[in-house]
Copies of this chain bind each other. A is one copy, B any other.
Amino acid sequence: MKRKDLIVEKEIEIRFSEVDSMNIVWHGSYMQYFEDAREEFGRKYKLGYQDIYNNGFYAPLVDISFQYKQPIFYGEKVKVIIKYVYKESSKIVFEYIIKDSEGNIRTTGISTQVFLDMDYKLLWYKPEYYTDWQNKTLVYD
């Protein structure tokens, strides 16, 4: 079965408060940029924290990694390209690339979320809601 590639681009404006005394974006701010992209994706494809919560689950991050290729400076315009990665298991996986206005890669990353029920218990199986979402959103007609 062939699945659609779901990709969303999110423009990021570097805030003054996100730059450190080296004059570059503090590495911790990228967590926020990745989340901004994830929320943009969530709004577009109905897979945000709120959508998931409305279906009875939390979806916290359990694994995240970053590779910083080039620093980002105050005043720069960059964008985060977020791509949904299909997994058989009960996980939500995204890949991220931050590119500058000339197309250079500044940062890459990957994140994994799992599903918890409202008592914070881990779901080992894929929630029906999520399978439905995958079938409806990823599969070609």
Contact = CB atoms under 8 A, between A and B. Distances in A.
Interface of A: 13, 15-17, 19-24, 26-28, 31-32, 35-36, 39, 49-50, 58, 60-69, 71, 74-75, 120
B64 A66 contact: yes
B65 A65 contact: yes
B74 A50 contact: yes
B22 A20 contact: no
A28 B68 CA distance: 16
B27 A61 contact: yes
Counting every copy of the chain, the complex holds 4
Contact of A68 (B32, B60, B66): B60
B31 A16 contact: no
Contact of A24 (B15, B28, B60): B60
B49 A16 contact: yes
Nearest to A68: B62
A50 B75 CA distance: 9
Contacts of A58: 22
A43 to B, nearest CB: 9
B27 A60 contact: yes
